Structures are given as C-alpha cells and as structure tokens.
Amino acid sequence: MGSSGDDGYRLLNEYANGFMVSQVLFAACELGVFDLLAEAPGPLDVAAVAAGVEASSHGTELLLDTCVSLKLLKVETRAGKAFYENTELSSAYLTRVSPTSQCSLLKYLGRTSYGCWGHLADAVREGKNQYLETFGVPAEDLFTAIYRSEGERLQFMRALQDVWSVNGRSVLTAFDLSGFPRMCDLGGGSGALAKECLSLYPGCKVTVFDIPEVVRTAKQHFSFLQEEEIRFQEGDFFKDPLPEADLYILARILHDWADGKCLHLLERVYHTCKPGGGILVIESLLDEDRRGPLLTQLYSLNMLVQTEGQERTPTHYHMLLSSAGFRDFQFKKTGAIYDAVLVRK
C-alpha cells in the first residue's frame, strides 16, 4: 500500500471517479447519441454524430471514445477515420425504440436522483431526504415533493415503466399467481405492471389504485389496449377505501416508508382482504446480515436521500407482514434486481 500502482489506490480512484461514468451515460442518452446511431443506415463518424445531436465535434469525439471504453459503443477505423455504432447493450437498453429501453429511468436518475445524492452527507447527518436542499421543495408530504411538477410526475412514471419492462416478468412469475383472478396494484402508476400481469395471467383483471393526479397522467400519456381488464381507481391508499381484490400488489411501495407507515398500510390491506387473499410485495431484498447485495445497499441509501424509507431483509418484511396479521410468508430471490414476497390472510 502507498504507491500509485497498488490495487488499493486503483480501486480508490475507480470509486472516486464513478460519478464521471454515470454522467457519460446520462449525457449520451440526453444528447440522443444512441437513438441517432440506431436510426442511421450504418456506422457514423464524429462529424455526422456531432451534427445529428447538435454538439461540438471536439466534445462529441471525447464522449464517443469514452462510450467505446465503457462498451456502450463499438468503433471501426476506415482510411484513418473512426466510425461508431451501438453495441448489443446500448441497442437493448439505451435506444427509445427498444421495448426494454431504460432511457426514461436514466433521465430521472441523472436529473433528480443525482442531485439528491450530492447531499448524501447531509442526509446521513440529518437522517432525512434532501428535496428541500436540492430543489427547494418541502418534503413533509413525500409525494408532493416527488411529484413536484407535472413534468416530474410524468418522468417518474416513465422511469418506473422502464423498470418493469425489464423486471416485471421475473417478479410476477416468482410465484404462480393464477389463483388470484382479481388483482389490485396499489400505487400502480402508469399501469405497466398491470399490463405485465395480463400478459402472464390472461384471465385476470387488474385495478390500478393511485392518487388522482397519477391516474390523470396515466390516462393522458400511456396507452391501454386491454381497457376492460385494466381499471384505474383514484385514491390515497393510506386513508381511502381500497378496491376489493384477491391479491394486492405492492411493488416498490414499502421501501418508500418508515415501518410505522408500512404497518398502517398493511393493516388496511389486511382488513379489506378476504380470507385466502394475499399480498405480493416486490422489493430489492437485503441479505439477512445487511452486508449486501451492494446494489440494494446503494438503493437503501437512495431511499435515505429521496424518501422516508429503506430497503429491508426478508425477516424485516416478515415482521411487518405478520404484525399486520398475514401468514404463510414466502419469499423468492429472483436473481435479478427485484425479489418477491407472498403472504396470505
């Protein structure tokens, strides 16, 4: 240790410069580099990309070459000139035409989450989210801060649609849900997970329950071909009557809230739920010793800077769900980012 060539120093620099990698990804998406290359009839040189994204040639060249090193782009040289094209990774996840595009999620992370993370030390000191410091928005009502404008609400909903385009199938097939013909997605946003439910369980009907502004945005900006099977209902799941259902889905909901609010919501679901009905909780689960996975630990810090909650272990969720009255606790690690917990009344 103590020299510029040792592994520890290299690792330190990798960590310290990690924010630069994120910004390369965010900038390339925001500029539309991957979309431009996807639409082109063949690889493009620096001049063509710079013109297409309306950027300087110098800056574009630096960005493109860094994307090549990050395996986001491929490059070939012809007659001394570099030509760039997308890799399989960028074609699948970084172009808007792809059904698994993550562009909206990355835009949200780059514009909103990234700003909050700049105040991580303050969040650790204070034990609370950083919306006031980052955006000047009070966060006593959490989702008033998260949905602080119509544009931000739409961006958040599109980001979650991206999440479920990749992760929806694995969490909804972790257990056989065919025995639950009526489902209710509490806080279901755009209805992306509801659509995935219908594709996997064709006989089911899904109610998406969310606050009025979200339901209005969903109807204005997201298309629904299965209008008879997906129904939207306005309401606040902390205080308004919940729809009747055989299965209540809580996907990335409980991690937003402290234990007390989680228990209050789970008790409300328990009182509405009929015997034999259940809850499917979809979250990124921490290991029991809370020492990993690293991504879930980072998500838990993200909950600190952006919400009132945290990521939890299976035992922690078991405690909350059993305290609300639910039984037959099961959980499955999917091997992907999000895992599934199933309980019954």
Report, as residue numbers or ranges, the catalytic residues. 255
Burial of 7 (0-12, 13-18, 19+ CB in 10 A): exposed
Cα–Cα distance measured from residue 37 to residue 91, given in angstroms and rounded to the nearest whole number: 9
Terminal-residue alpha carbon distance, the chain: 57
Cα–Cα distance measured from residue 242 to residue 81, given in angstroms and rounded to the nearest whole number: 62
Amino acid, res. 305: V
What torsion, rounded to 10 degrees, do the Cα atoms 157, 97, 298, 314 define? 70
Q: What letter would DSSP give residue 128?
A: S
The token duo for 219 is 């109807």
Amino acid, res. 98: S
Cα–Cα distance measured from residue 205 to residue 230, given in angstroms and rounded to the nearest whole number: 6
* Half-sphere exposure at residue 30, Cβ-oriented, CA atoms within 13 angstroms: 14
